[in-house]
Each structure stands twice: as C-alpha cells, then as structure tokens.
Chains A and B, each alone.
Chain A
Amino acid sequence: MRALKSRWKLIPLAGAVIVAATAVAATATARNSASPIRIAVLSDCQGAFGSFDNQDMAGVVTAMVQYAGAKAKNPNKPRDGWVGGQINGHPLKLVGIGCSNDRADTAIKETKRLMEQLKADIMIGPLSGDESIAVANYAKQHPTKTFVDGAAGAQDTTLKVRAKNFFRFNGDGAQWNAGLGDLAYNKLGWKTAAVVADDYSFAWTSAAGFVAEFCAVGGKVTKRVFPPLNTTDYSSYAQQMPTNVDGTFVAVGGAGLIPFLKAYEQAHGPIDGKKFIGNLFWGTPGQFEQLSSRVAGAYVGGAGTAGDLATPAAQAYNKMVGKVFKQIPPFGAAAPQASSTFTFGYYVNTWGLLAGLKAVKGDISGGQKKLQAAIGKVKLRTPYGPVHLDKNRQAVIPVYYQQLYLKNGKLAVKTVGYIPGVDQSFGGTFTSKTPAPGRNFPACVKRNLPWIGHTRVPKVTG
C-alpha cells in the first residue's frame, strides 16, 4: 500500500517531465520546420519563345542552387525544377511552373492558376512583353503577393503600370539597345534607316531604343514595318522594306527571325550583314547558330549580357550554369547558353528575389511588405556588372552590344561595346507621361543622350 502511494506521488513528476519534453520537442520542431515559402515560375513553353522554356528554368534553378542551397532535380532537364533550398530555415517550395505562350491572356490564366489554385506566395516570370504588362496589372490587384519578372522587356510593365509588388532586375527592350543608334550613325555611317519589329510591346520597346538614339544623333528613320508576332509568312512585310536606306534594324524575334530573313532575301536578294543591326535575338545562344553566315558582320543589340566577357565573375557564371546543368534542351550543352537573355533574365530576377528574402530572413508575414521593401533595395553585382532598381522597381543595368563574325566558318558572337548604368528613362527620352513605345512613338527627333560618344570596348575572351 505504501508502495502504491509512493507511485501516486510520482505521477505529478512524470507529468511535468512529459510537459517539459513536449515543449522542447515542439520548439525543436518549430525551429526545423519554419513555414515554407511557396514559389511559382511562369515560363513560355509554347508560342514564339516556347523553345527557350528550359533556358528560363535553367536560370531560375541555377540561382536557387547558388544562393539558396537547392539542387537541380534533373541536370538534363531544367523544367523539372529544383529540390531542397531554403532561406533561414524556410524551405523554398516550387508549387508549379506555368506554361504560357507569349499571349497576355494565357499569362493571366496561368498566373491565376499558380497564385490562386496552387497558392504560391511569390511568382517568378513571365517571359515576354505583353505578358508582363498583364501580370504587373494582376500584381497590382494582389498587393500581398510578390512578383519578379522573368525576362520580359516591355517598357510599360514598370514605367506605366508601376505595381509596388512587381520587380524587374533585367532591363527593358530600349535599355538593351543603348549604343546601337550611335554605332549606326557615327561608326557605320548610316544616315537613313528602316525598322522592322514584331507588332507587340516588347518589340516596340526594342525598336524605340534604336529609333530614339539613331534619331538623337541625327539619323532619319524613313520606314517602320510591324508584322504581327507569330507571323509565319513574312513575304508581304519583307516586300515593304525599303532598299534605298543605309541600313535596317530588325527586331523580329523568337521563331519569326529566320522566316523573316528568308523572306527578306527572297524579296531583295542576299543579305549584307554590314547593313543590318538586329536586336538581342540575333545573338541569343541557341538562335544565332541557325542564321545564315551571310549575316556575319551585323551588329547585335544585347540584353545586358556578354557571354565572352573576360571578367572572373562572367566566367564563373558560365561555369556555374554548366555545373548545375549538363544540357539545356533543345539547344544542347548548358554553359554556352548561360548568357542567353532568357537564362540570365530568370537567373538575375531569381537572385534579386533571394537577396530580398535573405534580407528579411525568409519572413514573408505582414502581407510581404517587409520583403517587398527589401527587394526594392537590393543591389546585385551580377556577372556583367552592377544592377540596382530605380523608384519604379526597374533595373538600372550595364548594356553590351555584340557583332556576329565567322569563326572557323561558323557564326560566332563577340562583345564589342559596353555602356554602364543605363536607366529606363533612356536619358530622359521616356517618362511615365510620354506615350508608350508603339508604331509611331518615339518620333524621330534630335536630342542629347548621356552615353553618346562614350561607349567603351570591354575585354573579351577568344
């Protein structure tokens, strides 16, 4: 009986031990299982840019590996995403990868699916211009979620829409073409030029950069032709291109570039590369290899990238992409595709996001306000130079332009010009009050641009 009583006395003690043990276990569990951060990616797996889908995902996953300790799920297929990865104990969970097709309508449907059905906290993407304008407008309606761009370069996305929770660490199409107008007029001696560009926001922006600068230094754009995006037969547009000009700027992109050049040759005979300047698509790894060797000598606007830059940071980035992925389908080996607009665009935007998440230690509570404030202050020393955001959350970037040349009988790209710190206003040409770039804007007028005559020549490999 006495023994029984003493056992009863032990019960409160045992209870205390159990409560204490439970509390310790709960604390440990809480420490080990901080709430996950749900991330979605919106890429284009169809349409004019569908073939760059894996480049998009390669950029995202490489940044996740490099800055969040994630691991690529499949080194030969970036679209499979990543596993692992965390910020301050908060797992970075990939909830879904959207499949858009360069159309705003599809981008919105996919964004709704990712954000509302799959309940993502943050979205990385989209890829192309009009999609990004629509997504930025969607972001405005969802201030408690955060959006970072993928590789889209329409000007309106940040200059006009100005959603406080949409961030873009890549340049817009006009920024990317800084230096080309100066080059055409002062180095190539063009006095007149024609422009052909896809009839949508990114290409309008891209053409606007060339037109603004070429006219700023005294050139005249005599004709602007705008075939619809996803045109398959460019013959009628090629026929409209004048031949009595000193040169032609081509901002036809994605799947349309090769058909356009073929149609141009059928209409006007073989292309003389020296009389052409292309926008970024002419130098995009995976794309330029398919161009005819006749375009050798053509200059190419960049996308804030320079794969052959002889700096340790640029070379380390190429190696990093090659280390994370062996292949980026359908174009083959991964490392040469590191400097693609799409790979780098998604990479730098994901990096900017992760830097913001690190600054707030992965805390996305409070409607993500702290995170959004932190992302706005992020400064990145990217492989190609410093990048920071302006008051519209748009990147101020270094810009490079390239030239196509023949190397062992094959087309290759070398970087030949560099302009640091190009902002979206393009030297005051564009403001939130000016019309959006379009078929007729900007007008062809002379003006001062800060970098005219100051283009530098970067040191490159090879």
Chain B
Amino acid sequence: MTRVTPDRVVGVAALVLAVLAPLYLSSYWVGTLLTQMLFLGIVAASLIFLSAYGGMVSLGQVAIYGIAGFVVGNVTTNGNTKGLNLGWSPWWGVVLGLAIAVAAALLFGALASRSVGIYFLMITLTYSVIANLTFGQVTDVSGFGGISGIPAPKHIGPVDAHQNRLYYVALGVALAVYLLLRYISRTPFGLTLQGLRDDPVRMASLGYNVLLHRTIAFAFAGFVAGVGGVLFVWWNGHIDPASIDLSATIDVLVIAVVGGLYRIEGAWVGALFFVIINNYSQQISFIGPRFHTLIGAIFLVIVLVSPGGLVGLWDRAIALSPFRRRGPTDRNPIEAGQVEPSV
C-alpha cells in the first residue's frame, strides 16, 4: 500500500490546484505566470537532475533550451521574420528542435564530462556564451532581433486566443518530465550516476565508464531542457539572443538554487517564486527595473539560511514536526541534505 506522507499530500494537492487553476485564477495568471513557471521549471529540473544525481552544476542548460527554440523558430516560421523561414509543420519543428538540442548536448557533454567542479561550471558557462553570440552574429539563423511570429501547433494555438490549452500541455509535459526524472534516478543508469557523483574514482575502478555516463546524463538533461525551449517559443512566439543571454542563464541557476538543488520538485517551486517576484516586484516603484538586485539579495539569503532552497525549508519543517519521516528513507543522502554535492 502506498504510504501517505506530507510530501505526497502536498504534491497531490499542488497538482489538483494546478489542474483547477483556470477555474479560480485570471487568464493572465494561467496563461502568463503559471505557463512560464512550468517551462522554466522544466529547464531548471534538467539542471537539478544533473546537479543532484550527477554532481554536475551546469550553466549550459539555457544554451540547449535556446538551441531547441531557435531550431523550432527557423523551421516553422514562414516569410516575415529573420531566420530560415522554412515553414514546416510545428510538429516537425519539435522533432528537429529536440534532435538538434540533444545532439548539441551530447557534444557539449562529451567535452565537459572530463572536467569537474569550477572547471565544469566554466565550460558550461562558455556554452551559454557561445550560443548567445552565435545566434546574435549569424544572421542567417537569427541575428540580434531574433525570430518572431513562431506558431504553436494548430491544436494548441493560437496561444493568445487559447491560453489554457498551452497551459495544460505545459502542465502535462512538466508532470511527465518530473515522473521521468524520478524514474531515471531509480534505474541502474540513475544509480550508477549517483555512484559517479559520490566517488568517480571508485566507480571507474569497478569498471564503469565515467565519461560515457556523464556524457549521456548531460545529453538526457539536454533533451529535458530542449523540451522547455520548445514550450518557451510556443508561449512567447519569439526568441532572440537576449532570451539565452548570461542573465537568462543566471535566472535558471537562481531558480534551481532558490527552489532547492537537491530535489527535482524544487525546480517548479523556485520557478513559481521567481516568476511571481519578477512580475510583481516591478510594480513597486523603488524596485522597478532593479529586479535583479532584489532577486540577488533573495538568492543570498536563501543560500545562507537554507542551502537546500525553499524545498529544504520544507524538509526542515517536516523533520521538526510530528509528521517527520521515520525509518530508512527512500531518498539518497544528497536529497536528504546529508551530503554536499560535489560540483
């Protein structure tokens, strides 16, 4: 019998609230804020997966998300914007977008998998910069102004006229991504990845191919980030190099850290927090365009007070409550916050 835990109760309640959101929230909240939260959460989940299970904190996820988005933009637009304007079906755009994003992630992963710690961070940051400058400079595929008028598939769009459709698609995809990441983490591949995270030397001596595992993990996370990129361009109808600049890269890192780098759920918690702060803080006159200063301060406080992010606070609250988990936990040590991830 499935055990009822506070985590599961809250998870199911959140899902029910999300499904019913269009009934009690405004169309702006659903179509703009929550949809944005869902796809940003997917990108952050790819980062958290790499960090929590592979010990790799990647700053390259936004680059891969952007590659998927730019590919979709180039192949699905038709005539009146920058880029290739191939005018293909949006579904072919998804296939090609994800395929190229995964191929790029495989290449990026193969190059970065030999490095660890700060060097891994710097190499993946380089990927973001390369993607940003490439799409800015190569005007055949984008240029500074980017690609506008990117269509969503007929059954979903036009997005602005049927905002709930894309919301539910994003919700379904986010749920699928969450379940997939949970599943992967429990497969032999996921367990091997956690072993590589904790002691790569020992795993190598046991005969595991460390580099190959890390590369495949990076490519898989790239697939997840690419899914987020596709949803982003459907939602925004536009992508340009500023969509994947350094600021966007840091935003996804902030989302992951604020949500909690140790648990996949943290991605959407952090994304919701980020999106709300981003949206409403600008209406406060003394903050206005100084949003990044505010989110930077919040980031600092979260890192100092709760290295496990907002989800870490929840874990602490549960640990102190009568509902605290008893007996052996099914979560790995890093999820339980007992071990610091190696970066």
Q: Is A370 an interface residue (CB 8 A)?
A: no
Q: Does B81 contact A200, Cβ atoms closer than 8 Å?
A: no
Q: Does B238 contact A134, Cβ atoms closer than 8 Å?
A: yes
Q: Does A133 contact B81, Cβ atoms closer than 8 Å?
A: yes
Q: Does A104 contact B148, Cβ atoms closer than 8 Å?
A: yes
* 0 or 1 for each of A111-143: is its CB under 8 Å from B? (1 = yes): 011001100000000000110011011101110
Q: Is B263 an interface residue (CB 8 A)?
A: no
Q: Is B242 an interface residue (CB 8 A)?
A: yes
**Nearest CB of chain A from residue B99's CB, rounded to whole Å:** 25
Bound complex: CA A443 to CA B238 (Å): 28
Q: Does B144 contact A199, Cβ atoms closer than 8 Å?
A: yes
* 0 or 1 for each of B143-177: is its CB under 8 Å from A? (1 = yes): 11110110000000011110000000000000000
**Nearest CB of chain B from residue A237's CB, rounded to whole Å:** 13
* 0 or 1 for each of A416-452: is its CB under 8 Å from B? (1 = yes): 0000000000000000000010110000000000000
Contacts of A130 in B (CB 8 A): 144-146, 240
Q: With A112-B32, A116-B32, A142-B160 given, is the CB distance from A45 to B289 under 8 Å?
A: yes
Q: With A112-B32, A130-B146, A137-B81 given, is the CB distance from A104 to B158 under 8 Å?
A: no
Q: Is B31 an interface residue (CB 8 A)?
A: yes
Bound complex: CA A133 to CA B136 (Å): 16
**Which DSSP category, helix, strand, loop or mixed, fits chain A's interface?**
helix
Bound complex: CA A108 to CA B236 (Å): 8
Contacts of A106 in B (CB 8 A): 242
Q: Is A338 an interface residue (CB 8 A)?
A: no
Q: Is A412 an interface residue (CB 8 A)?
A: no
Q: Does A439 contact B139, Cβ atoms closer than 8 Å?
A: yes
Q: Is A156 an interface residue (CB 8 A)?
A: yes
Contacts of A138 in B (CB 8 A): 237-238
Q: Is A360 an interface residue (CB 8 A)?
A: no
Q: Does B28 contact A200, Cβ atoms closer than 8 Å?
A: no
Interface residues in A176-223 (C-beta closer than 8 Å to B): 199-201
Count chain B residues whose beta carbon lies closer than 8 angstroms to a beta carbon of A. Answer: 32
**Nearest CB of chain A from residue B136's CB, rounded to whole Å:** 6
Q: Is A161 an interface residue (CB 8 A)?
A: yes
Q: Does B80 contact A104, Cβ atoms closer than 8 Å?
A: no
**Nearest CB of chain A from residue B27's CB, rounded to whole Å:** 7
Bound complex: CA A119 to CA B136 (Å): 33
Q: Is B209 an interface residue (CB 8 A)?
A: no
Q: With A99-B288, A112-B32 given, is the CB distance from A105 to B80 under 8 Å?
A: no
Bound complex: CA A102 to CA B236 (Å): 17
Q: Is A69 an interface residue (CB 8 A)?
A: no
Bound complex: CA A136 to CA B158 (Å): 16
**Nearest CB of chain B from residue A141's CB, rounded to whole Å:** 4
Bound complex: CA A112 to CA B238 (Å): 12
Bound complex: CA A104 to CA B148 (Å): 9
* 0 or 1 for each of A146-164: is its CB under 8 Å from B? (1 = yes): 0000000010100011100
Interface residues in B296-337 (C-beta closer than 8 Å to A): none
Bound complex: CA A112 to CA B282 (Å): 14
Q: With A141-B158, A436-B82 given, is the CB distance from A104 to B149 under 8 Å?
A: no
Bound complex: CA A45 to CA B80 (Å): 28
* 0 or 1 for each of B239-278: is its CB under 8 Å from A? (1 = yes): 1101100000000000000000000000000000000000
Q: With A46-B289, A112-B32, A117-B28 given, is the CB distance from A228 to B80 under 8 Å?
A: no
Q: Does B238 contact A161, Cβ atoms closer than 8 Å?
A: no
Q: Is B115 an interface residue (CB 8 A)?
A: no
Q: Does A117 contact B279, Cβ atoms closer than 8 Å?
A: yes
Which of B79, B137, B158, B160 meets A228, CB within 8 Å? B137
Q: Is A103 an interface residue (CB 8 A)?
A: yes
Contacts of B237 in A (CB 8 A): 108, 137-138, 141
9 A-B pairs with least C-beta separation? A130-B145, A137-B148, A103-B242, A200-B144, A105-B242, A137-B149, A141-B160, A160-B80, A105-B243
Tell me the B residues contacting A by CB distance below 8 Å.
27-28, 31-32, 79-82, 136-137, 139, 143-146, 148-149, 158-161, 236-240, 242-243, 279, 282, 288-289
15 pairs from A and B in contact (CB 8 Å cutoff): A99-B289, A105-B236, A108-B237, A108-B238, A113-B279, A113-B282, A116-B27, A130-B145, A133-B145, A137-B148, A137-B237, A138-B237, A141-B237, A154-B145, A199-B143
